[in-house]
Chains A and B, each alone.
Chain A
Amino acid sequence: MSLFDKRLSEIHSALRAKELSVTDLVQASIASIKEHDDEIKSVLHADEEGALAHARQLDERLAKGGEELGMLYGLPAGLKDNLITKDVRTTCASKFLANFDPVHDGTVSKKVKDADAVIVAKLNMDEFAMGGSNENSGFYPTKNPWNTEYVPGGSSGGSAAAMAARHFYFTLGSDTGGSIRQPAAFCGVVGLKPTYGRVSRFGLVAFASSLDQIGPVTKNVEDSAYVLQAIAGHDPYDSTSANVEVPDFLSALTGDVKGLRIGVPKELIGEGIDPEVRDAVLAALKQLESMGATWSEVSMPHTEYAVPAYYLLSSSEASSNLARFDGVRYGVRADNASNLIELYKESRSQGFGPEVKRRIMLGTYALSSGYYDAYYKKAQQVRTLIIQDYNSIFADFDVILHPTTPSTAFKIGENVDDPVKMYLEDICTVPVNLAGLPAISVPCGFSGKGLPIGLQIIGKAFDESTVLRVAHAYEQSVGFHTRKPEWVRG
């Protein structure tokens, strides 16, 4: 068993008993990266020196005694490279930010440090979080640890692949249209997208501000609850973060699902869903039923409109958010521009990759004079209809359950030539972001090719407790989360 397979309570006991040090943990993380990441490519930059210095500091503090240990004390963490970290390179996997060292921490980076976790590395992703395969990284694509011919998913592909490889105790990702849940499903790990507003976005490089949300990627649901506990809460620096009470997420993990009412939208379990994925999800429903839950088929009539609405809205917001990358205040500036407009154009054109340009173009068009009502406003109205679909289901059900993705991971290069085909892969995840709801992906089986399958559980706004409770009860009863790629240590 790898060190990072242990429960948090076991790690903390071993640290207190001096059987283990934080330095040991951080060294294990660095060793795993050095040994296996040449092939997986989940890491963009490791801060070996900084992490070891932080580890020594934490070890000294425990040796002196007295002070209370933070909730995530000593745990090596990897952060998606769109979460800014003071003095540690943050590139969003974009050549545009190849030399960017943030001058302050984002709220979540700070909270993770305040909880005494050690940030060891920044992780690969689709450039500016735009993509679902990590093939859009401006540096190199990440591979799926289960089979390196396949994508790990995206855009938090590095965060999910690194967890499957057990490089860290936990990682953080961001989810705008499925970017935590889809790679978690493809890599056989647990990915949680909290309710919009549950976690501060201050210091998350913005892609689509009304949809983006930071969340944990972990080996199991218990770890997910711990990390969410540490990063959740209102933040005066993010006025869209919700000023609501943060419950004790750990106490929600009771193992009990008796009387739970599950709604299963027929649009996301029938046509278009790979039979292997459908069978795994139906088996999960049977399992939950045997534990005392009930389920019924329901309908989300506007499901087929969610993907086009999502791409119009997210690209519009992106075109506005990415206007800040101008080559003036930070980032890479093109040489030899003779005037300011040329400097903007050349810097942006050289710095951004093809998918980022495509989305900026789409968003700029959708917001431009004469097209705003037809595209942007229309998509906002469809967003309202999708929220109404959810509201009518949640009037009678506690959670909604369906696959995280229509099929398992695809081969590297398989979808790169057809943006619409690639976008349609997001059908099971984007409606959740449009409605701002909390959702988790947990492993629920494997395909004939040995690739992981993800089960998605969606809850009411700010009801992460129920989502975590159901996910945990299911996970513990079936144990798919304990499987790892064969080559992974231990």
Chain B
Amino acid sequence: MSAITRKEVEHVANLARLQLTEDEAERYTKDLNAILEFAAKLNELDTFNVAPTSHATDVKNVMREDVNRPSLPREEVLKNAPDHEEGQFKVPAVFE
């Protein structure tokens, strides 16, 4: 039995903003099934009353004063942009 179908793999790729080739879709269907089968091992453990851990340290809600600080100059920030115009990042039209 497969945990994840080819169709689901294509759906997940879309969520992840990846465009898979035919070969990749097939490959990842096989790989994800193998990995998820391996991950199913976790179901051997009863974790009903176990609290989840998101971080291994005790740090909680670190607050700081909200003060103005200088930020990077605009030219610097745009230096690595693939395309920019009039001080802004440029992308293809979002609306027709």
Using CB atoms and an 8 Å cutoff, list the residues of chain A in contact with chain B: 99-101, 103-104, 196-197, 210, 236, 239-240, 242, 302, 304-305, 308-309, 311-312, 319, 323, 326-333, 337-346, 348-349, 352, 354, 357-358, 360-362, 364-365, 368, 375, 377-385, 387, 419-420, 423, 434-437, 461
A328-B91, A358-B31 known; A364 vs B16 contact (CB < 8 Å): yes
Instruction: Check B57–A308 contact: CB distance below 8 A.
Output: no
Q: Tell me, in angstroms, the Cα distance from A343 to B93 when the chains sit together.
A: 11
List B17-53 residues whose CB lies under 8 Å from chain A: 17-20, 24, 27-28, 31-32, 34-36, 38-39, 41-45, 47, 50-53
Q: Which of A240, A348, A383 contacts B59 (CB 8 A)?
A: A240
Instruction: Check B56–A434 contact: CB distance below 8 A.
Output: yes
Residues of A within 8 A of B38 (CB): 308, 420, 423
Instruction: Check A337–B52 contact: CB distance below 8 A.
Output: no
A309-B42, A385-B50 known; A343 vs B92 contact (CB < 8 Å): yes
Residues of B within 8 A of A354 (CB): 24, 27
Query: What's the interface size class on B, roughly?
Result: 35 or more
- Interface membership of B1, Cβ < 8 A: no
- Interface membership of B76, Cβ < 8 A: yes
Q: Which of B8, B20, B28, B54 contacts A380 (CB 8 A)?
A: B54
Q: Which of B17, B39, B41 contacts A344 (CB 8 A)?
A: B17
Instruction: Check B83–A311 contact: CB distance below 8 A.
Output: no
Residues of B within 8 A of A377 (CB): 52
Instruction: Check B31–A340 contact: CB distance below 8 A.
Output: no
How many Å from the CB of A328 to the closest CB on chain B? 5
Instruction: Check B56–A385 contact: CB distance below 8 A.
Output: no
How many Å from the CB of A361 to the closest CB on chain B? 5
Q: What are 9 pairs between A and B in contact, CB < 8 Å?
A: A103-B80, A197-B59, A242-B59, A308-B41, A341-B17, A348-B18, A365-B12, A380-B52, A383-B56
Q: Which of A239, A381, A420 contacts B62 (CB 8 A)?
A: A239
Instruction: Check B34–A419 contact: CB distance below 8 A.
Output: yes
Residues of A within 8 A of B62 (CB): 239-240
Instruction: Check A343–B91 contact: CB distance below 8 A.
Output: yes
Q: Which residue of B lies closest to A378 (CB)?
A: B42
Q: Which residue of A lies closest to B24 (CB)?
A: A357
Residues of A within 8 A of B47 (CB): 378, 381-382, 385
Residues of A within 8 A of B43 (CB): 378
Residues of A within 8 A of B32 (CB): 358, 361-362, 365
Instruction: Check A240–B82 contact: CB distance below 8 A.
Output: no
Instruction: Check B19–A340 contact: CB distance below 8 A.
Output: no
Instruction: Check A361–B18 contact: CB distance below 8 A.
Output: yes
Residues of A within 8 A of B19 (CB): 345-346, 348-349
Q: Which of B13, B34, B81, B91 contacts A330 (CB 8 A)?
A: B81
Residues of B within 8 A of A308 (CB): 38-39, 41-42
Q: Tell me, in angstroms, the Cα distance from A331 to B89 when the chains sit together.
A: 13
Residues of B within 8 A of A333 (CB): 82-83
Q: Which residue of A lies closest to B15 (CB)?
A: A364
A103-B76, A338-B92, A361-B18 known; A419 vs B54 contact (CB < 8 Å): no
Residues of A within 8 A of B54 (CB): 210, 380
Instruction: Check B64–A236 contact: CB distance below 8 A.
Output: yes
Q: Which residue of A lies closest to B41 (CB)?
A: A308
Instruction: Check B28–A103 contact: CB distance below 8 A.
Output: no
Q: Tell me, in angstroms, the Cα distance from A377 to B17 when the chains sit together.
A: 24
- Interface membership of B7, Cβ < 8 A: no
